[in-house]
Structure 1
Amino acid sequence: MNQPPAIHQLGEDVVNRIAAGEVVERPASAVKELVENALDAGAKRVEVTIADGGRTLIRVVDDGWGIAPDDLALALARHATSKIDGSDLLNIHTFGFRGEALASLGAVGRMTLTSRRAGADGAQIAVSGGAQSPVRPAALTQGTVVELRDLFFATPARLKFLRTDRAEAQAVGDVIRRLAMAEPFVAFTLRDASGGDDRQVFRVDAESGDLFDALHGRLAAILGRDFAENAVKIDAEREGFHLTGYAALPTYSRGAAVAQYLFVNNRPVRDKLLIGALKGAYADLLSRDRHPAAALFISCDPQLVDVNVHPAKSEVRFRDPALVRGLLVTAVRHALLQSGHRASTTVADATLAAFRPEPAAGVPPRSYQMPLGGYAPARPSGSAIRSAWAAQAPAAVPDIAAQGFAEMSAPSARVEPELGDDALPLGAARAQIHENYIVAQTAQGMVIVDQHAAHERLVYERLKAQMAANGVAAQALLIPDIVELGAEGAGRLLAVAPDLARLGLTIEPFGGGAVAVRETPALLGEVDSPALLRDILDELNDADSSGLLGAKLDAVLSRVACHGSIRSGRRMRAEEMNALLREMEATPASGQCNHGRPTYVELKLADIERLFGRR
């Protein structure tokens, strides 16, 4: 170019399309803006209909207070809103406040806005690619209907960046579910009209009762009964911030962070600070490849948080982020520890699902298989199974007797005398199976305990308590253990020697790549020093990215506890097994080991009887 280009003012339609690129990224963004407008208008029922993932149709119907006919044209103008007056951008009590949503949607699609306010006539206005039509009368009960067709027809390049219709529809569903969690007293419906069909995809009715009851009911409807049954209540307050909601037990974890729902003043957010705090709350209750499930709500004075950070309003900035993080970590952690030895019911469900009753003798195996036609036959009733067994049992007994009991393998279980009280939560120990699993009888059924996993958690909690009080007690070795780790490994351990000393483990350099172990934690008894040091070195390498000394020390303590717990294969007396059960009942978080795995499974008597066709 020989001459620099001249500066000129962009047209209003171009400005709106540029702004739409920030506000409306995909159909789910449009649905979010329209539903939030409905909630800000006091709606108690919101119905959303989409077609083709929202590309061809998005319709939002609400029963809010509506828009007056004289304000319809102004509602489509950029930065026109009834939610703020512009004098204080921090004092925001509504979802929306920018006044950009309707103008942006009208700039990139074909939108019709129909509304009626109580005591006024209904009216309608249409806009296509930024071009408005005159306001005209329309029939409608109180509320608003926004119909958006052919999204991005004015900016066809944006269509190339959309995903499949199914993926876009799933994103819309996720938006509706998050907003439904934020407003449990509002009814939501999502319908899909793709291909000429009109099917209901999602529906929740308005909840009643107090806030916690309503939220619990709404979470059960959206996240499932399993989450509601295995979540602990969160209710904590600190210096103007109030944290409420529910957090799932560690044994009810996920393989990905797909069940984490965070809200600030009822606004769904995806904030790195809050996500990190939630992870920190479960730090030594879950392994690194598992993720917690939670729905948490932070309420505060709008002056303490800035929501005007991003056009999509999914990010926030707190005035005191350390305070918010500390509140979330402490409150969730306290609630989880208060749950004691409790483990999620899904552990028992998975155990029951793993049991497959053997077909009765003489019943052809194929009668339990799926036929070629694709339908499943009716499952035999309990009485039918008992009848079949009774018919075959007389012939089966002589065959077994003929084999001789001497040829049968020796049993690997030991039955103990009844020494405990089965009325206690974890019951009375009755047997040890394979020298690793304790079977206890409870008043309602039975409990199977992994003795190594359970004792690992108990030792870990004792070590933490000792370290918090005055450091872990150490025992001196008569002859120091010399461990070869290589120059790099030895240097890594010696760099944190003062921190290890707080854990009751004293090491010194011994030349080359060796270290001398002079003291070990007294609680562990006899320790395999080489294995312990190598485990600690692995943990330090894994936890290097955290950068937090406390997190590293807890991780190392967890590895240390593993070496001091009852090993698999050790025979335990009835007194020892019952003592382990009683300590589990008194120890926080004993329902899972240090890696997030369950320490016990509880089976109700009714479920056991059902397995044998007795019910």
Structure 2
Amino acid sequence: MALSDPKIRPAPVIRQLDEAAINRIAAGEVVERPASAVKELVENAIDAGATRIEIDYADGGKRLIRVTDDGCGIAGDDLPLALSRHATSKIDGSDLLEISTFGFRGEALPSLGAVGRLTITSRCGDAAASITVTGGRAEAVRPAALSRGTRVELRDLFHATPARLKFLRTDRAEAQAIAETVKRLALAEPFVAFTLTDLSGDSPRTVFRADAQSGDLFDALHGRTAQVLGRDFAANAIPLDAEREGHHLTGYAALPTYSRGSSVQQFLFVNGRPVQDRLLIGALRAAYMDVLSRDRHPAAVLFIDCAPRLVDVNVHPAKSQVRFRDGGSVRGLIVSGLRHALAGAGHRASSTVAGATLGAFRAEPGPAPANEPARVYQMDRPAPRAAMPPMPGFAEAPAPSARIEAPAAPAPGDERRPLGAARAQVHENYIVAQTETGIVLVDQHAAHERLVYEKLKRQSAENGIAAQALLIPEIVELSESDCALLLSHADTLATLGLVLEPFGGGAVAVRETPALLGQVDAAALVRDILDELADLGESTALRARIDAILSRVACHGSIRSGRQMRAEEMNALLREMEATPLSGQCNHGRPTYVELKLSDIERLFGRT
């Protein structure tokens, strides 16, 4: 008995999918969740020139999404065409590199109409019209009442594809995603007013509101960041304005002492389009590498503007990814622009540090006298620091005490300086300085550690990184493509003390390594560098290791906690902090000083 070969199968039949199936497939790429639908509709409103956009939703957007704008509108005769796939007014199809609008694919409206109940009402000229499409089936255009612009209403999202509903999260999570989407678009368009309303309950609830800003771009963006990210961000952010090889960087970046526990306050835009791009995120992280610990994240709103031909936005249907023609130049612009701006901030530290300090004071428990505010305060004590061994060249310090030694009179005019005049040293670790408007508390060890670190980095940049030759060169086997990529950066790596040479085939010979690193696993270091080069086009792994060593040297070479300082030493430390960039935070992003205004101190004692 002959057995049929299981590998032999009848030839599959090739068939043309119908329009409804095509639209549902496209919807799977474009409309992932309710927030995706909101994004597409709001972007259409912005492209239409709207100055006010209202977004309403119910049940996390599953039951209702409604976007109303005051843009140019759509003519009634064009409404059926607007619901056809790949029909758009944004481009004519002749040049896909000249894209200056949010939308251009012509997929959003037909995709939404394929998976929900979509109604578009729009006014263009003297008459308004409306059209409804349900599950891909459009009804006839009919007259409607609308004063201006367009109103798009999407009900019962994914009712035509119920399996997709099972993959949605809770109403609260979906509503939060909608809010985040609207906030990103609000940052992109500070001159447009946005209102986000939740209609789920018995009465409407305004979730987010951002009035249109005025003034120049920086003033408008500063006001919009205060609306979206809060006044603390706006008060502790520094402006950015840099340009390189046809790319322009603008925006605001927060001081390192205003770092966050996650990347929730990182907003990146390319030609006004919100993006989630690995190259840009990596560049932002690299710019703060020297002033933040690994578990902290910078906060920033960055805009990269360039000619449309220098960036490809047609990479993904959701348009959240882009590809630059010269990614290395863009990355270098972000890193250098941010570092220059942070250095320009000098010794400045986040104002939230003072707020946290004041918040640590609390009234002594017990009833206060009648009609009299509580005037005795105590401060929550932090955990005690680990003791540090004495360093050669320093006398053994006495045990810390609560005794305050008043120094000699400072130089005339010191109180008018940013960090004031030293008045005392508390617990042989904290310098108390008086300014014209308050007091400054300085952590002497953290501050001096930063100063020493900056000196070491400057010396390293001026004199280069000393290299140590390996007695026997280490051979690292790589693929030929990886070898070529690594050797293309050999000159840059050599300036950091890592000398590589080709060794035939896909192998490289490591001849020298940075002396600061001591004994090092050269193969592991080379592969770490190669991973970063492949991912980002540039590597910071070696520089980061060298800086970590310099930071460690600075820590051990700085003024120790517990050492008594003379008045002239304290004032010299304050003056050097004022003249040194980034001295407002230690090497790990923690503040080196806290400034308390006299008005805040008086408020603690009920004197206001």
Question: Are the counterparts in 1 of residues 496 and 542 from structure 2 also a CA contact under 8 Å?
Answer: no
How is 1:22-37 mapped onto 2 (pairs within 5 angstroms)? Answer: 22-37=29-44
Against the structure 1 CA distance between its residues 410 and 48, is the aligned structure 2 distance closer, same or farther, given a 3 Å change threshold? closer
Match of 2:104 in 1: 97
Query: Secondary structure, in 3 states, of the residue corresponding to 2:256?
Result: coil
Instruction: Point out the structure with the larger helix share.
Output: 1
Question: Are the counterparts in 2 of residues 49 and 190 from structure 1 also a CA contact under 8 Å?
Answer: yes
For 2:401 and 2:114, locate their aligned partners in 1 and report how far apart those are by CA, in whole Å: 79
Q: Tell me, yes or no, if structure 1 residue 419 matches structure 2 residue 410.
A: yes
Letter in 1 for 2:214: S
Pairing partner for 1:558 from 551, 554, 569: 551
Structure 1 residue 359: deviation in Å? 5.0
Structure 1 residue 411: deviation in Å? 3.8
Against the structure 1 CA distance between its residues 438 and 127, is the aligned structure 2 distance closer, same or farther, given a 3 Å change threshold? same
Pairing partner for 1:174 from 166, 175, 180: 180
Query: Secondary structure, in 3 states, of the residue corresponding to 1:356?
Result: strand
Against the structure 1 CA distance between its residues 308 and 500, is the aligned structure 2 distance closer, same or farther, given a 3 Å change threshold? closer
Match of 1:572 in 2: 565
Structure 1 residue 439: deviation in Å? 0.7
Q: Tell me, yes or no, if structure 1 residue 211 matches structure 2 residue 217.
A: yes
Question: Are the counterparts in 2 of residues 466 and 472 from structure 1 also a CA contact under 8 Å?
Answer: no
Against the structure 1 CA distance between its residues 563 and 68, is the aligned structure 2 distance closer, same or farther, given a 3 Å change threshold? same
How is 1:198-347 mapped onto 2 (pairs within 5 angstroms)? Answer: 198-347=204-353
Structure 1 residue 414: deviation in Å? 1.8
Match of 2:203 in 1: 197
Q: Tell me, yes or no, if structure 1 residue 599 matches structure 2 residue 592.
A: yes
Pairing partner for 2:20 from 13, 27, 32: 13
Structure 1 residue 433: deviation in Å? 1.0
Against the structure 1 CA distance between its residues 240 and 348, is the aligned structure 2 distance closer, same or farther, given a 3 Å change threshold? same
Against the structure 1 CA distance between its residues 2 and 261, is the aligned structure 2 distance closer, same or farther, given a 3 Å change threshold? closer
Deviations 1:217-246 (A, max 9, x none): 000111011000100000011111111000
For 1:193 and 1:114, locate their aligned partners in 2 and report how far apart those are by CA, in whole Å: 20
Structure 1 residue 5: deviation in Å? 2.9
How is 1:51-70 mapped onto 2 (pairs within 5 angstroms)? Answer: 51-70=58-77
Question: Are the counterparts in 1 of residues 59 and 200 from structure 2 also a CA contact under 8 Å?
Answer: yes
For 1:416 and 1:499, locate their aligned partners in 2 and report how far apart those are by CA, in whole Å: 49
Letter in 2 for 1:219: T
Against the structure 1 CA distance between its residues 64 and 435, is the aligned structure 2 distance closer, same or farther, given a 3 Å change threshold? same
Question: Are the counterparts in 1 of residues 259 and 296 from structure 2 also a CA contact under 8 Å?
Answer: yes
Against the structure 1 CA distance between its residues 315 and 410, is the aligned structure 2 distance closer, same or farther, given a 3 Å change threshold? closer
For 1:438 and 1:283, locate their aligned partners in 2 and report how far apart those are by CA, in whole Å: 28
Letter in 2 for 1:451: Q
Query: Secondary structure, in 3 states, of the residue corresponding to 2:146?
Result: coil
Match of 2:450 in 1: 457
Structure 1 residue 152: deviation in Å? 0.1
Letter in 2 for 1:5: P
Letter in 2 for 1:25: E
Question: Are the counterparts in 2 of residues 463 and 472 from structure 1 also a CA contact under 8 Å?
Answer: no
Structure 1 residue 120: deviation in Å? 3.1
For 1:6 and 1:472, locate their aligned partners in 2 and report how far apart those are by CA, in whole Å: 66
Against the structure 1 CA distance between its residues 24 and 304, is the aligned structure 2 distance closer, same or farther, given a 3 Å change threshold? same
For 2:317 and 2:410, locate their aligned partners in 1 and report how far apart those are by CA, in whole Å: 66
Aligned residues: 528
State percent identity of aligned pairs. 70
Q: Tell me, yes or no, if structure 1 residue 350 matches structure 2 residue 343.
A: no
Against the structure 1 CA distance between its residues 12 and 588, is the aligned structure 2 distance closer, same or farther, given a 3 Å change threshold? same
Against the structure 1 CA distance between its residues 190 and 359, is the aligned structure 2 distance closer, same or farther, given a 3 Å change threshold? same
Pairing partner for 2:580 from 576, 587, 593: 587
Structure 1 residue 418: deviation in Å? 2.4
Structure 1 residue 558: deviation in Å? 1.3
Match of 1:121 in 2: 127
Letter in 2 for 1:569: G
Structure 1 residue 3: deviation in Å? 2.6
Q: CA RMSD in A?
A: 2.8
Letter in 1 for 2:49: G
Match of 1:527 in 2: none
For 1:11 and 1:146, locate their aligned partners in 2 and report how far apart those are by CA, in whole Å: 25
Letter in 2 for 1:419: P
Deviations 1:385-437 (A, max 9, x none): 46x99xxxxxxxxxxxxxxxxxxx97432221222411111011111111111
For 2:349 and 2:368, locate their aligned partners in 1 and report how far apart those are by CA, in whole Å: 38
Question: Are the counterparts in 1 of residues 401 and 428 from structure 2 also a CA contact under 8 Å?
Answer: no
> Unpaired runs of 5+ in structure 2?
1-7, 378-399, 468-492, 499-514, 533-538
Query: Secondary structure, in 3 states, of the residue corresponding to 1:235?
Result: strand
For 1:344 and 1:314, locate their aligned partners in 2 and report how far apart those are by CA, in whole Å: 32
For 1:595 and 1:2, locate their aligned partners in 2 and report how far apart those are by CA, in whole Å: 64
Deviations 1:92-147 (A, max 9, x none): 01000000000000000000000001x23100000000000000000111200000
For 1:44 and 1:181, locate their aligned partners in 2 and report how far apart those are by CA, in whole Å: 14
Match of 1:111 in 2: 118
For 1:281 and 1:336, locate their aligned partners in 2 and report how far apart those are by CA, in whole Å: 9
How is 1:495-506 mapped onto 2 (pairs within 5 angstroms)? Answer: none
Deviations 1:568-594 (A, max 9, x none): 111111111111000000000000000
Query: Secondary structure, in 3 states, of the residue corresponding to 2:177?
Result: helix
Query: Secondary structure, in 3 states, of the residue corresponding to 2:274?
Result: strand
Question: Are the counterparts in 1 of residues 56 and 67 from structure 2 also a CA contact under 8 Å?
Answer: yes
Structure 1 residue 499: deviation in Å? 9.1
For 1:83 and 1:535, locate their aligned partners in 2 and report how far apart those are by CA, in whole Å: 56
Question: Are the counterparts in 1 of residues 256 and 589 from structure 2 also a CA contact under 8 Å?
Answer: yes
Against the structure 1 CA distance between its residues 411 and 556, is the aligned structure 2 distance closer, same or farther, given a 3 Å change threshold? closer
For 1:340 and 1:141, locate their aligned partners in 2 and report how far apart those are by CA, in whole Å: 53
Q: Tell me, yes or no, if structure 1 residue 38 matches structure 2 residue 45.
A: yes
Question: Are the counterparts in 2 of residues 189 and 204 from structure 1 also a CA contact under 8 Å?
Answer: yes
Question: Are the counterparts in 1 of residues 465 and 495 from structure 2 also a CA contact under 8 Å?
Answer: no
Structure 1 residue 8: deviation in Å? 1.1
Against the structure 1 CA distance between its residues 330 and 347, is the aligned structure 2 distance closer, same or farther, given a 3 Å change threshold? same
Against the structure 1 CA distance between its residues 124 and 169, is the aligned structure 2 distance closer, same or farther, given a 3 Å change threshold? same
For 1:356 and 1:418, locate their aligned partners in 2 and report how far apart those are by CA, in whole Å: 33
Question: Are the counterparts in 2 of residues 68 and 120 from structure 1 also a CA contact under 8 Å?
Answer: no
Question: Are the counterparts in 2 of residues 60 and 146 from structure 1 also a CA contact under 8 Å?
Answer: yes
Structure 1 residue 560: deviation in Å? 1.6
Query: Secondary structure, in 3 states, of the residue corresponding to 2:232?
Result: helix
For 1:450 and 1:583, locate their aligned partners in 2 and report how far apart those are by CA, in whole Å: 14
Deviations 1:271-327 (A, max 9, x none): 000000000110110000000000000111000000000000000000000000000
Structure 1 residue 534: deviation in Å? 11
For 1:28 and 1:554, locate their aligned partners in 2 and report how far apart those are by CA, in whole Å: 42
Query: Secondary structure, in 3 states, of the residue corresponding to 2:127?
Result: coil
Q: TM-score, normalised by structure 2?
A: 0.82
Question: Are the counterparts in 2 of residues 457 and 592 from structure 1 also a CA contact under 8 Å?
Answer: yes
Q: Tell me, yes or no, if structure 1 residue 153 matches structure 2 residue 191.
A: no
Pairing partner for 1:469 from 462, 470, 474: 462
Match of 1:396 in 2: none
